């Protein structure tokens, strides 16, 4: 039955904590030392949670019930009252509970389960740096086009066009969340989608002239940095993987002695959504290894093979090489701004395409998804052909390194 002030005052503490229930998930926890704590138990997203609502008598029975009803309203609107409280605290106690910053932090907490840590950090930092200083303190329902336009213009003025588009889209998602949780009536960021300058195509610096590729490879042979970075630099054009798939590679993912040597890239380090990374049915990406790649790996194994990573960090073998190591090596040999680690993918795709190799097999080797309906049904991996491509590509690079002349290779598909 519901509590009363008389029942609370007359209750005597025992040897163990006692729950005095009031209904609706709320109870008073009477502790052996005589302290009385209000608690509210609820379920959100399939999980049982508990919310602290103060102590008695500082928080009276009437006040506790009002807090319970406020929490129940948030739950009904799809908001976790615990997460909402943390967001309010993070935004500062002097800010309104429905300020843009509070709502945005709630949204970030909600989406964090869907994102990788890296993606979450990008989304969080973008709001932290470009939105909260401008509109974070304002009630989300009071923000309109006039408040959003200046902060987008500030990003554009600094030349970050792509960042401005991403910020506008992110603001729009926060406002849609505010609408869904009944704290705003519309999404003003959507009205500004056509006011930003057109996106500038993002192209990674690369080299696709065969003679210049030969010059690059010869310059790479003259690299005087550490042996670990030297191996990563030489394997980058042979594998043309994404940079993260190179620097995070582990020895357990390699088969150097089998009939078909390969690097099996696990979903956890591939460019996939978090749900795909964690899905046990997601297949790894196979990188067939050429004779040249195997030779480099065998030599590298003598140095780092007893550890976890092929390319351990300079400061600790328990961590992989930093994400800027290959680009720093390219800069060191005089190729800063001319090609990046990612640019080897563009180089391989362009030259192999011009040489007539099967585009579908090349796309599979780049770990690209085929767009549209065909991408849903076409599961062909083209591994035999890809093994041939990777070996012929390594031989082709050797030819360019030696002569700088574009020589014909293999039997093209």
* Residue length of the chain: 413
DSSP 332-377: HTT-TTT--TTHHHHHHHHHHHHTT--HHHHHHHTTPPPPHHHHHH
- The sign of the CA dihedral 178, 180, 185, 189 is positive
Q: Report the 10 Å Cβ neighbour count for 347.
A: 23
Q: What is the DSSP letter of 99?
A: B
Q: What is the DSSP letter of 47?
A: E
What 57-64 contacts at long range (C-beta under 8 Å, 24+ apart), as own/partner pairs, is 60/5, 61/3, 61/4, 61/5, 61/8, 61/22, 64/22, 64/26, 64/28, 64/38
For residues 28 and 61, what is the distance between their CA atoms, to the nearest angstrom? 9
Q: Report the 10 Å Cβ neighbour count for 90.
A: 13
- H/E segment holding residue 164: helix 161-180
Cβ atoms of residues 270 and 291 within 8 Å: no
- H/E segment holding residue 37: strand 36-44
For residues 4 and 110, what is the distance between their CA atoms, to the nearest angstrom? 37
Q: Tokens standing for 264?
A: 């099996």
Tell me which residue of 89, 18, 14, 28 sits closest to 63, measured CA to CA: 28
Taking the alpha carbons at both ends of the chain, their separation in whole angstroms is: 79
For residues 377 and 354, what is the distance between their CA atoms, to the nearest angstrom? 27
The set of catalytic residues is 242, 271, 342, 345, 368, 377
Cβ atoms of residues 250 and 244 within 8 Å: no
């Amino acid at each position: 039955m519901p509590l009363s002030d008389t029942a609370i005052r007359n209750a005597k503490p025992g040897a163990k904590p006692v729950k005095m229930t009031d209904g609706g998930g709320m109870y008073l926890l009477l502790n052996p030392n005589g302290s009385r704590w209000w608690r509210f138990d609820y379920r959100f997203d399939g999980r049982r949670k508990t919310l602290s609502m103060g102590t008695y008598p500082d928080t009276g029975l009437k006040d506790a019930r009002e807090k319970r009803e406020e929490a129940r309203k948030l739950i009904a609107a799809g908001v976790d009252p615990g997460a909402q409280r943390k967001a309010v605290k993070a935004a500062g106690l002097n800010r309104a509970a429905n300020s843009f910053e509070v709502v945005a932090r709630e949204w970030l907490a909600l989406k964090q389960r869907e994102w990788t840590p890296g993606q979450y950090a990008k989304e969080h930092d973008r709001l932290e740096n470009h939105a909260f200083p401008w509109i974070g303190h304002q009630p989300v329902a009071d923000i309109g086009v006039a408040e959003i336009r200046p902060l987008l213009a500030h990003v554009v003025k600094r030349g970050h066009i792509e960042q401005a588009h991403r910020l506008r889209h992110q603001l729009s998602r926060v406002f849609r969340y505010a609408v869904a949780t009944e704290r705003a009536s519309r999404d003003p960021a959507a009205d500004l989608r056509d006011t930003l300058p057109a996106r500038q195509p993002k192209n990674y610096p690369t080299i696709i002239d065969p003679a210049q590729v030969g010059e690059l490879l010869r310059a790479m042979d003259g690299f005087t940095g550490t042996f670990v970075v030297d191996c990563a630099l030489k394997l980058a054009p042979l594998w043309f993987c994404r940079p993260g798939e190179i620097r995070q590679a582990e020895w357990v993912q390699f088969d150097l002695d089998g009939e078909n040597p390969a690097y099996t890239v696990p979903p956890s380090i591939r460019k996939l959504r978090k749900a795909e990374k964690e899905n046990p049915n997601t297949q790894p990406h196979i990188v067939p290894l050429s004779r040249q790649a195997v030779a480099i790996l065998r030599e590298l194994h003598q140095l780092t093979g007893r550890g976890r990573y092929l390319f351990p960090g300079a400061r600790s073998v328990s961590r992989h090489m930093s994400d800027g190591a290959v680009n720093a090596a390219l800069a060191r040999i005089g190729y800063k701004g001319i090609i990046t680690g990612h640019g080897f993918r563009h180089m391989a795709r362009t030259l192999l395409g011009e040489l007539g190799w099967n585009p579908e097999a090349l796309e599979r080797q780049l770990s690209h998804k085929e767009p549209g309906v065909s991408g849903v049904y076409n599961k062909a991996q083209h591994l035999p052909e890809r093994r041939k491509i990777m070996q012929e590509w390594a031989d082709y690079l050797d030819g360019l390194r030696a002569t700088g002349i574009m020589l014909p290779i293999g039997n093209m598909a």
